[in-house]
Amino acid sequence: MKWPKAPDAPEHPTITRFDIESPYGMKLLAIETSSETASVALLLDDEVRVREGGTPGTHARFVLPWVTELLGESGLALPQLDGIAFSAGPGSFTGLRLAVSVAQGLSVGSGVTLVAVPTLEALALSAGDGFKCVCVDARMSEVYSACYEVRGDGVTALSNVRVSPPAGVCRPEGELASWQGCGSGFALAGVAELPWVADLGSIDTGLNAHARQIGRLGCLRLAAGEGIDAALASPIYVRDKVAQTTAERLAAGGRA
């Protein structure tokens, strides 16, 4: 199969080699397009190669060409992969659908197993070890949030993922100083002004899910037998509504 060449872009894609070791010696492709910046990673036995860049609305231009480039550099064909992991959400509806559709297309054409990785888990992993309160801007005056404990490559969910107004962010239990706030949601006034947020040990509003972490979690899930057929791949939306009505935007102080 002949893949398209990646178009030129103001954001020059990057390659990172020998960044981490792939768990269990797997060869796995990972796709993340739900964040502001798109990323694709190829995890091999002793390295991870990455392409990243673009801006919202341009991700679809780059993902397949990046897959082509990464496989070409590694001398691999799609059927040689152990799995294809994709960022399943919650996150940008358009971005999630893109990741799922690309992963499905690659799987159908090659027979490679897919792995759905929750986006907020990958974001928590990007922050390193410890207790993580993840909060991401969900638009429409809402946020996605959940709490996790990260140890090495393992991420344990300590709550369900929820979508709520800023006041309903998932509040960590126990000593707040031992928790880190992660994600764009903590930059929103409605979240930052919550009394308990000031007691968190630290906050990083710049953290996003990345294909590196999607790949790491994908390897673990694949090893645990959590691979799925292409026909079963679907996003984790958490909510079903894509946009507000005009009346809702006006009530929230927006434009018609």
Question: Do the strands 38-43 and 48-53 form a parallel or antiparallel pair, or are they unpaired?
Answer: antiparallel
Residues 39 and 115 in one domain: yes
Residues 35 and 90 in one domain: yes
Question: Global pTM?
Answer: 0.86
pLDDT of residue 14: 43
Residues 114 and 223 in one domain: yes
Residues 169 and 220 in one domain: no
- Let me know if residue 153 belongs to a domain: yes
Closest listed residue to residue 74, CA positions, set 37, 133, 22: 22
Residues 105 and 213 in one domain: yes
Question: Do the strands 162-164 and 142-151 form a parallel or antiparallel pair, or are they unpaired?
Answer: antiparallel
Q: What is the count of structural domains for the chain?
A: 2
Name every residue whose Cβ is closer than 8 Å to that of residue 179 and which is 6 or more positions away in sequence.
130, 131, 132, 133, 147, 172, 200, 201
Name every residue whose Cβ is closer than 8 Å to that of residue 78 and which is 6 or more positions away in sequence.
1, 71, 106, 109, 110, 112
Residues 234 and 199 in one domain: no
Distances from the Cα of 233 to the Cα of 60, 100, 128, 216, angstroms: 18, 7, 28, 19
Radius of gyration from C-alpha coordinates of the chain? 18
pLDDT of residue 240: 56
Distances from the Cα of 177 to the Cα of 24, 77, 86, angstroms: 35, 48, 33
- Let me know if residue 90 belongs to a domain: yes
7-37 b/e with 16+ CB inside 10 Å = b? eeeeeebeeeeeebebbeebbbbbbbbbbeb
DSSP H or E segment with residue 60: helix 59-74
- Let me know if residue 17 belongs to a domain: no
- Let me know if residue 245 belongs to a domain: yes
pLDDT of residue 76: 96
Q: Distance between CA 9 and CA 116 in Å, rounded? A: 28
For residue 237, give its domain range: 23-120+208-249
Site of tokens 């037998």: 225
pLDDT of residue 208: 95
Residues 47 and 107 in one domain: yes
Distances from the Cα of 229 to the Cα of 88, 100, 165, angstroms: 14, 12, 35
Residues 52 and 79 in one domain: yes
pLDDT of residue 27: 96
Give helix 119-126 / helix 211-223 axis angle, nearest 10°: 110
Residues 41 and 88 in one domain: yes
CB atoms within 10 A of CB 183: 29
Q: Distance between CA 114 and CA 140 in Å, rounded? A: 31
What pLDDT tens digit does each residue of the chain (256 aa) get? 444 444 444 343 444 443 444 555 799 999 999 998 999 999 997 789 999 998 878 899 999 999 999 999 999 999 999 999 999 999 999 999 999 999 999 999 899 999 999 999 999 999 999 999 999 999 999 999 999 999 998 999 999 999 999 999 999 999 999 999 999 999 999 999 999 999 999 999 999 999 999 999 999 999 999 999 999 999 999 875 444 333 333 344 444 3
Residues 200 and 212 in one domain: no
CB atoms within 10 A of CB 256: 6
Looking at 188, 204, 220, the residue that finishes a domain is 204
pLDDT of residue 24: 59
CATH number for position 139: 3.30.420.40
